[in-house]
Structure formats: structure tokens, C-alpha cells
């Protein structure tokens, strides 16, 4: 009986394209990464119409327990004790750029009084462009 | 004479750690990436030198009560009916100001809902320009008009 010679097959995982995939993922995350100045979790109100917030906009955050935070747009947001502090902080940004946009990131359930106070102080500081941050509302209202 | 045998050295860029570095970077970007909400309702605040004082009787007054119920020019109205109410007035005068007053106790989302509806007015009513919405603050209302409602 003829003895068949078995040819050993080398087991290997093809890794030639791994570097391509890895760098593709790196580029994707580099392009999409936004280093936000404020990571406070708030339940934003919903709206159908939404405009893009310009990069570097100042952010004023109002949480459900009415804690306020401020960021001029470059630094991480910090807690401010009252809306009165906003006038000087916002005025400093407006002095550099009179059209510097200010984003109001407030929880939808917060009483309007808190938002009104913030808007009033921003107006007093000479702010001209305000954006009320919202989440997308779908057509069926969800 | 001594015959030295040349040893050949393979030229090679060490790439064994490249995968480690690449995946470290991937993990870093995955952890730091925040797909944040970056859109909202924009409005321009008129500059002091260009601001005109609006007389409440010339404007349409939308009042949002503490219970989120709407009153338009003194009459209760549903949000869906606001644009239909404004349409003939804006057809006559596209610059007709709309004053949006919100009760301080009303939730913020109620104001955003009305603001959203008004900002959609240009498209829905096929207007030539955006609805002229004024959002006076409580202090401005008291200073300029001594309170509207």
C-alpha cells in the first residue's frame, strides 16, 4: 500500500491589512472627535429647526437643580455662583469679538426664570448672538 | 593577509509595536469622543443703537403661562394655531413684531416649543423673511412696558 505523504499547512491569520484598518479607524476618530468644553448631562428641550453652533462658542449651562456653569469656548466649563457673575465673564468675551456666539444649554424642565436671568445678563453684557441648544425633535413629536 | 568575511545586516524598520500604538490611539479617541449636541435655535439680539422700541399694541403678544398654556393677543390658543393666526397679519406686514413673553414659572421647554414654531414660520407660511420675534427679558418688560400681562 502506498503511503501518502501529508503536506503540512501553516496556520496563520492574515494581518497585512490590520495596519490599514487601524489607521482608518484612527483617522475617523480624529476627524469626528469634538473636545467639548462642557460635558454636563442635561435633558435638552426638543426642536425641529436647529442651526449649527459655531465652533468656539461660549457655553452657559443650567442644570435641572439650577446650577450654572460657564465656558468662554476655549476652556473647560466651571461653576459660577450666580447669574450676576455672567455679566463680567460675557463682557470679556464680547470685548474680544462683538459677534462671539453664546450657547444656552439649559435643561428643558428648568423654570424659565433661570433662563430669563441668564439671557438678561448676556444682553446687558452686549451679547448679540444667542443659541438655545436643543436636541432634534422628529416629525411625529418623539 | 587575513580575509575578513563581511556579515550582511538586513535593513528593517521594526514594526512589531505599530499595532500596539495604533490600537492605543484608537482606544484613546474612542474614549474621548463625544458626539455632542451641537445644534440649536439661534436668534440675534438687536444692537442698542439699532434697537427700536416696540409698542405692544403694534405687535402680536404671545404669552406662555406657568401651566404652558398659550395666550395670543389675550385669547387662549393651541400651539398649532399660532402660525395660522399670524399668517394674515404677516401677509399685510412682514415686519410685524411678535413678542414672546414667558411666565417665570413655566418650564423652559414650553418657550423653546413656541420659538421653534415661530422659526419655522418662514418656510411654512412661505414668507419672504423670518418672523420678527422679540424675546424681552422680565427686567426689560417691567422697565419698558411696566409688565405686559
Q: What's the CA gap between A63 and A68, in Å, rounded?
A: 7
Question: What's the grid cell of residue B123?
Answer: 418656510
Is the whole model's pTM more than 0.80, yes or no? no
Task: Kindly tell me if the per-residue pLDDT of B99 is higher than 50.
Answer: yes
Q: What's the CA gap between B124 and B48, in Å, rounded?
A: 31
Probe site for chain A from B46, B47, B112, B138 (most A CB atoms < 10 A): B112
Q: Which residues pair with B75 in a beta bridge?
A: B72
Q: What's the CA gap between B86 and B127, in Å, rounded?
A: 11
CB B89 within 8 A of CB B60: yes
Probe site for chain B from A14, A28, A49 (most B CB atoms < 10 A): A49
pLDDT for A7: 80
Please list every residue in chain A whose beta carbon sits closer than 8 Å to the beta carbon of residue B106: 111-112
pLDDT for A142: 45
| Interface touch B38/A112, C-beta < 8 Å | no
Cβ neighbors of A14 (< 8 A, separation 6 or more) are none
What angle (nearest 5°) sits at the alpha carbon of residue A44, between those of residues A65 and B78? 105
Nearest chain A residue (CA) to B15: A19
Question: What's the grid cell of residue A36?
Answer: 467639548
For residue A10, give the DSSP letter: -
More confident residue, B29 or B86: B86
Nearest chain B residue (CA) to A62: B108
CB A72 within 8 A of CB B66: no
DSSP structure string for chain B: ---PPPPP-------TTHHHHHHHHHHHHHHH------EEEEEEPPPTTT--PPPTTTSEEEEE-TTS-EEETTEEE-GGGHHHHHHHHHHH-TT-EEEEEE-TTSBHHHHHHHHHHHHTHHHHTT-SS--EEE---HHHIIIIIS---
| Interface touch A112/B116, C-beta < 8 Å | no
CA-nearest of B44, B144, B68 to A51 is B44
Task: Kindly tell me if the per-residue pLDDT of B50 is higher than 60.
Answer: no
Distance of CA A141 to the CA centre of its chain: 23
Using N-to-C axis directions, what is the helix angle for B108-119 and A112-124, rounded to 10°?
60
Nearest chain A residue (CA) to B38: A53
Nearest chain A residue (CA) to B120: A49
For B116, the closest of A18, A47, A52 (CB atoms) is A47
CB B19 within 8 A of CB A18: yes
Question: What's the grid cell of residue A135?
Answer: 436636541
pLDDT for B62: 93
A51-81 residue pLDDT tens: 888 888 899 999 999 999 998 888 888 999 8
Q: What's the CA gap between A135 and A48, in Å, rounded?
A: 8
Backbone CA torsion sign across A34, A36, A39, A42: negative
pLDDT for A108: 93
A5-58 residue pLDDT tens: 778 888 877 777 877 888 888 888 778 776 677 778 889 999 988 888 888 889
Amino acid at each position: 500500500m502506498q503511503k501518502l505523504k501529508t503536506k503540512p499547512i501553516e496556520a496563520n491569520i492574515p494581518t497585512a491589512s490590520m495596519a490599514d484598518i487601524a489607521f482608518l479607524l484612527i483617522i475617523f476618530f480624529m476627524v469626528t472627535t469634538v473636545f467639548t468644553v462642557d460635558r454636563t448631562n442635561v435633558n435638552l428641550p426638543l426642536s425641529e429647526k436647529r442651526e449649527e453652533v459655531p465652533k468656539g462658542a461660549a457655553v452657559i449651562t443650567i442644570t435641572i437643580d439650577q446650577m450654572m456653569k460657564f465656558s468662554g469656548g476655549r476652556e473647560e466649563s466651571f461653576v459660577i455662583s450666580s447669574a450676576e457673575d455672567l455679566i463680567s465673564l460675557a463682557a470679556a468675551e464680547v470685548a474680544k469679538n462683538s459677534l462671539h456666539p453664546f450657547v444656552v444649554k439649559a435643561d428643558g424642565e428648568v423654570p424659565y426664570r433661570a433662563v430669563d436671568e441668564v439671557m438678561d445678563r448676556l444682553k446687558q453684557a452686549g451679547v448679540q448672538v444667542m443659541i438655545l441648544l436643543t436636541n432634534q425633535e422628529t416629525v411625529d413629536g418623539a | 593577509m587575513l580575509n575578513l568575511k563581511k556579515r550582511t545586516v538586513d535593513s528593517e524598520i521594526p514594526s512589531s509595536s505599530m499595532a500596539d500604538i495604533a490600537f492605543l490611539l484608537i482606544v484613546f479617541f474612542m474614549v474621548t469622543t463625544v458626539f455632542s449636541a451641537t445644534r440649536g435655535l439661534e436668534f440675534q439680539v438687536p444692537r442698542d443703537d439699532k434697537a427700536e422700541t416696540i409698542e405692544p399694541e403694534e405687535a402680536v403678544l404671545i404669552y406662555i403661562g406657568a401651566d404652558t398654556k398659550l395666550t395670543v393677543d389675550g385669547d387662549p390658543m393651541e400651539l398649532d394655531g399660532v402660525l395660522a393666526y399670524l399668517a394674515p397679519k404677516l401677509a399685510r406686514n412682514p415686519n410685524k413684531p411678535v413678542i414672546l413673553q414667558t411666565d417665570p414659572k413655566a418650564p423652559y421647554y414650553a418657550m423653546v416649543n413656541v420659538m421653534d414654531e415661530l422659526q419655522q414660520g418662514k418656510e411654512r407660511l412661505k414668507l419672504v423673511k423670518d418672523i420678527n420675534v422679540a424675546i424681552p427679558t422680565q427686567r426689560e418688560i417691567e422697565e419698558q412696558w411696566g409688565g405686559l400681562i
